[in-house]
Chains A and B, each alone.
Chain A
Amino acid sequence: MSSPVYIAGVGVITAIGNNVAEHLLAFSERKAGMGDITLLNTKHKGELPVAEVKLDNNALANLAGISSKTSRTKMLSLIAAREAMNDAAIPKFSELRTGFVSANTVGGMDKSEDFFVDFLADNNKGKLRDIFDHECGSITEVVADELGITDYMTTISTACSSSANAIFYGARLIKNDLLDVVIAGGADALAKFTLNGFNTLMILDKEYCRPFDDTREGLNLGEGAGYVVLVSDEVAKTLNKPVYCALSGYNNSNDAYHQTASSPDGTGSYMAMQGALNKAGLKPTDISYINLHGTGTPNNDSAEGTAIKRLFEPDFPPMSSTKSFTGHTLGASGGVEAVFSVLSIKHGLIYPNLRFKTQMHELPFAPETEYLKGQPIKNVLSNSFGFGGNCTSLIFSAV
């Protein structure tokens, strides 16, 4: 069970880019993806900023190569998963035992919302085509079919930690010798459902979000998808280029405090980070960079920060929340940020935490605000914490 699992490919789409290269450019230019709502049909247009992928459904469907009548979640998922698969370029892919483990929280809610308007008025109305993608699993199934993956697929939904859990589960399928290659990550499209949901909880910032800042007021919702290609040791040896890194540690712990709020001392976050370090056989001082969950809500950042203080004090590694660029992509965030963590190792990058001004009063540290390259990055800790107390941490390590 101790056999290593490597990352052989990455793919990502968010408000700051449609592929890996565009993301690297946006980070170097400190270009955030938030703005006024332009695509989502909602009353909150002009009032709540979001981080939309800057392509309407026709353009996105064109990029994905599928029908524009389907859910946006599916298009985002396919674009990023395909980029990851092409990037890995695994020889004799079709002869290997392959799997697709994808996560999402909204499924095809963007289409269900259209369906429900007519359905509520008359239960015999509403285009059935609009409800086909409602289930989270439908998104995964169509994308797996498009990628030609048939040996194994499943879908995970644990709120904002969903795709970190998908990566974790995918790696274990390889370690248990059930599969050779797993494309794992997640996708979520913006939907009225989630925008209104987070709005009722009063955790959306009307300004651009300020993760880990003392004056932070909430998160900005985003959308996107991020996938990594996980391969076994044997498959890694057949590749025509070096692997990016290894997935060395992971842990899933539950805060068991409240359905939506984090415990004040970040019990679940602490256990997830500590558990991932134990799994990787690393000490806190071995971590070169932390990609924070860092949503920008008062509650998350305080709980996560408190847990980091307890675990890392007195030596705090550089850390930042890339949600200051992409917004919070919910079920996609663990996958998106796994890609950023992998790229951090590959290119020696530390991403800036945008719009940071004031250190949180309860913490003895502040996030990194500069874009740093050429850094010696050995181990990256990526945090994903969600509703239902679901806390997951992943550690990626240079090889």
Chain B
Amino acid sequence: MKIYIRSAAAITAQKTFGDVPFLTELTEFDETRLMAIEPDYKDYVDPKLARRMSRMVKMGVASALQCLRDGQTEMPGAILTGTALGCQEDTVAFLTRIIEMEEEMLPPTAFIQSTHNTVAAQIALSLKCHNYNNTFVHKGISFESALLDAIMLLKEGDANDILVGGTEEMTDAAFKILTRLGLYKRRPISNADLYKTKTHGTIGGEGSIFFLLNDKPSPDNLAELVATKVFYKPKASVDIELNINKFLTDNSINAEDIDLVITGKNGDTKNDAVYESVIPALFSDNSLAYYKHLTGDYPVSMSFALWLGANIIKKGKVPAIVADGEIKNPSPKKILIYNHYQNSYHSLMLISAAD
């Protein structure tokens, strides 16, 4: 059975949403936090409702609804989302009020919208969709878990036209805490220069990207989702290579068949050392691309990599701003995406031009 990416819609720190050129220019930021470029929500959410919604929920609903429109599908067979940190804005708002108001006279709205499943729930509510609805909240593989659920649903034949997405919002509090935890660079940096300085830390990001997956061939499909895999806490570089090789073997493909490898390089010395060891060992002759200077790093950033890869295949071109070195095949047909999250969760996705 083949699984196709029918459509995809992305709200990110770049101009990716709506009818826009495909990453022809880099939107630059001069700090270690990249904010999503938000669309006008009135085409997606009643303005009265939107006023009470956090950015995360608005981004989620808008990208999901646009994805359905692009896929000419009114009602998805399932709604799946992944988010590591959930609805931070409302969580922090309610937590702050508990402390400041000493647990008295608290308004309920922030609590109501703080649950991790709010995005999936609001999409269902907006569509009056009673179908399967799930939310995964597992660190750097939240999106991958939702994607696996979608793949299983399609294989089981219990649902089709699966809407699956990754959403994350960066709040001031989360940015401050994650900076204190050492995730981000100590000094402001332009995202255009992310890979130029060899220093500790990356840049933070956010975004919401939804995909419509089904098993129906169509000339409108963006790409075929051939396979995905996650592996956990490899002990050494050689374990990573074994896992990736097994993934390739399981899918009957050699490194030379892959036209482009998209990696999760994020400008952090320790993070990127993993790629610098694995890539020369396995993909020394392959063309490479990277993306985290576009979006910043965030737990569901693999959703951006998948959006990028699917669009590269569909549009038959690799945007210059994502090229990591020479691009030998300007219109890739097979793309491998490889990302790792703090060297704990390693994630692979293989996509191919749809027949």
Contact between chains at B116 and A157 (CB < 8 Å): yes
Contact between chains at A193 and B131 (CB < 8 Å): no
User: Hey, which chain A residues are within 8 Å of B181, CB to CB?
Assistant: 128, 131
Q: Is A267 an interface residue (CB 8 A)?
A: yes
Contact between chains at B139 and A141 (CB < 8 Å): yes
Q: Which among A42, A123, A137, A151 has the greatest number of chain B C-beta atoms within 10 A?
A: A137
Contact between chains at A389 and B121 (CB < 8 Å): yes
Complex interface residues of chain B between 90 and 125 (CB less than 8 A to chain A): 91, 94-96, 98-100, 102-104, 106-108, 111-118, 120-122, 124-125
Contact between chains at B138 and A169 (CB < 8 Å): no
User: Hey, which chain B residues are within 8 Å of A159, CB to CB?
Assistant: 115, 117
Contact between chains at B111 and A388 (CB < 8 Å): no
Contact between chains at A112 and B95 (CB < 8 Å): yes
User: Hey, which chain B residues are within 8 Å of A42, CB to CB?
Assistant: 103
CB nearest to B121 among chain A residues: A388
A116 to B104, CA, bound (A): 17
Complex interface residues of chain A between 72 and 111 (CB less than 8 A to chain B): 105
A120 to B129, CA, bound (A): 39
Contact between chains at B177 and A140 (CB < 8 Å): no
Contact between chains at B117 and A158 (CB < 8 Å): yes
User: Hey, which chain A residues are within 8 Å of B103, CB to CB?
Assistant: 42-44, 192, 196
Name the contact of B155 in the complex, choosing from A112, A176, A388 (C-beta under 8 A).
A176
Q: Is B67 an interface residue (CB 8 A)?
A: no
Contact between chains at A105 and B156 (CB < 8 Å): no
Q: Which among A201, A259, A268 has the greatest number of chain B C-beta atoms within 10 A?
A: A259
Q: Is B318 an interface residue (CB 8 A)?
A: no
Given A113-B98, A141-B139, A389-B121, 13 new contacts (CB under 8 A): A44-B103, A105-B116, A117-B99, A131-B181, A136-B137, A137-B138, A137-B142, A151-B232, A158-B134, A201-B108, A256-B130, A387-B117, A389-B125
Q: Is B184 an interface residue (CB 8 A)?
A: no
A residues contacting the other copy or chain, number (CB 8 A): 62
Q: Is B127 an interface residue (CB 8 A)?
A: yes
User: Hey, which chain A residues are within 8 Å of B173, CB to CB?
Assistant: 119, 123
- A selection of 25 A-B contacts at a CB cut-off of 8 Å is A1-B155, A1-B157, A113-B99, A120-B96, A136-B137, A154-B136, A155-B137, A155-B138, A157-B136, A158-B116, A158-B117, A158-B120, A158-B135, A193-B94, A196-B98, A196-B111, A197-B94, A254-B130, A256-B129, A256-B130, A388-B120, A389-B121, A389-B125, A389-B133, A390-B117
Contact between chains at B149 and A169 (CB < 8 Å): yes
Q: Is B238 an interface residue (CB 8 A)?
A: no
A251 to chain B, nearest CB (A): 8
Q: Is B198 an interface residue (CB 8 A)?
A: no
Q: Is A156 an interface residue (CB 8 A)?
A: yes
Contact between chains at B131 and A153 (CB < 8 Å): no
Q: Is A371 an interface residue (CB 8 A)?
A: no
Q: Is A295 an interface residue (CB 8 A)?
A: no
User: Hey, which chain B residues are within 8 Å of A389, CB to CB?
Assistant: 121, 124-125, 133
Contact between chains at B111 and A135 (CB < 8 Å): no
Q: Is B180 an interface residue (CB 8 A)?
A: yes
Q: Is B152 an interface residue (CB 8 A)?
A: yes
A124 to B173, CA, bound (A): 11
Q: Is A312 an interface residue (CB 8 A)?
A: no
Q: Which among B120, B129, B130, B156 has the greatest number of chain A C-beta atoms within 10 A?
A: B130
User: Hey, which chain B residues are within 8 Å of A140, CB to CB?
Assistant: 138
Q: Is A379 an interface residue (CB 8 A)?
A: no
User: Hey, which chain B residues are within 8 Å of A12, CB to CB?
Assistant: none
Name the contact of B138 in the complex, choosing from A124, A128, A154, A192 (C-beta under 8 A).
A154
Contact between chains at A271 and B130 (CB < 8 Å): yes
B331 to chain A, nearest CB (A): 34
A111 to B99, CA, bound (A): 14
- Contact-residue bracket for chain B: 35 or more
Complex interface residues of chain A between 44 and 93 (CB less than 8 A to chain B): 44
Q: Is B194 an interface residue (CB 8 A)?
A: no
* A-B interface, 8 closest residue pairs, ranked by CB to CB distance from nearest: A388-B121, A197-B111, A200-B108, A157-B116, A137-B139, A137-B138, A154-B145, A155-B138
Contact between chains at A135 and B85 (CB < 8 Å): yes
Q: Which among B85, B124, B138 has the greatest number of chain A C-beta atoms within 10 A?
A: B138
Contact between chains at A390 and B112 (CB < 8 Å): no
CB nearest to B132 among chain A residues: A252
Q: Is B258 an interface residue (CB 8 A)?
A: no
Contact between chains at B133 and A197 (CB < 8 Å): no
User: Hey, which chain A residues are within 8 Å of B315, CB to CB?
Assistant: none
A101 to B277, CA, bound (A): 31
Contact between chains at B176 and A123 (CB < 8 Å): yes
Contact between chains at A253 and B116 (CB < 8 Å): no
Name the contact of A193 in the complex, choosing from B98, B108, B133, B134 (C-beta under 8 A).
B98
Name the contact of B232 in the complex, choosing from A44, A153, A253 (C-beta under 8 A).
A153
Name the contact of A259 in the complex, choosing from B99, B121, B152 (C-beta under 8 A).
B121
Contact between chains at B152 and A176 (CB < 8 Å): yes
Q: Is B84 an interface residue (CB 8 A)?
A: yes
Contact between chains at B134 and A156 (CB < 8 Å): yes
Complex interface residues of chain A between 193 and 249 (CB less than 8 A to chain B): 193, 196-197, 199-201
Q: Is B186 an interface residue (CB 8 A)?
A: no
User: Hey, which chain B residues are within 8 Å of A151, CB to CB?
Assistant: 232
User: Hey, which chain A residues are within 8 Å of B165, CB to CB?
Assistant: none
B309 to chain A, nearest CB (A): 23
A117 to B103, CA, bound (A): 13
A90 to B133, CA, bound (A): 32
User: Hey, which chain A residues are within 8 Å of B107, CB to CB?
Assistant: 200
B24 to chain A, nearest CB (A): 36
A140 to B344, CA, bound (A): 13
A151 to B145, CA, bound (A): 13
CB nearest to A194 among chain B residues: B111
A155 to B138, CA, bound (A): 5
A119 to B92, CA, bound (A): 11
A 138-157 binary contact with B (CB < 8 Å = 1; else 0): 10110000000011111111
Contact between chains at B135 and A156 (CB < 8 Å): yes
A200 to B104, CA, bound (A): 9
CB nearest to A131 among chain B residues: B177
Name the contact of A390 in the complex, choosing from B111, B121, B177 (C-beta under 8 A).
B121
Name the contact of A260 in the complex, choosing from B112, B129, B230, B232 (C-beta under 8 A).
B112
Contact between chains at A150 and B132 (CB < 8 Å): no
Known A105-B115, A137-B137, A387-B115; judge A120-B99 contact (CB<8 A): yes
Contact between chains at A197 and B114 (CB < 8 Å): yes
Q: Is A255 an interface residue (CB 8 A)?
A: yes
Contact between chains at A256 and B125 (CB < 8 Å): yes
Contact between chains at B95 and A113 (CB < 8 Å): yes
Q: Is B9 an interface residue (CB 8 A)?
A: no
Contact between chains at A259 and B84 (CB < 8 Å): no
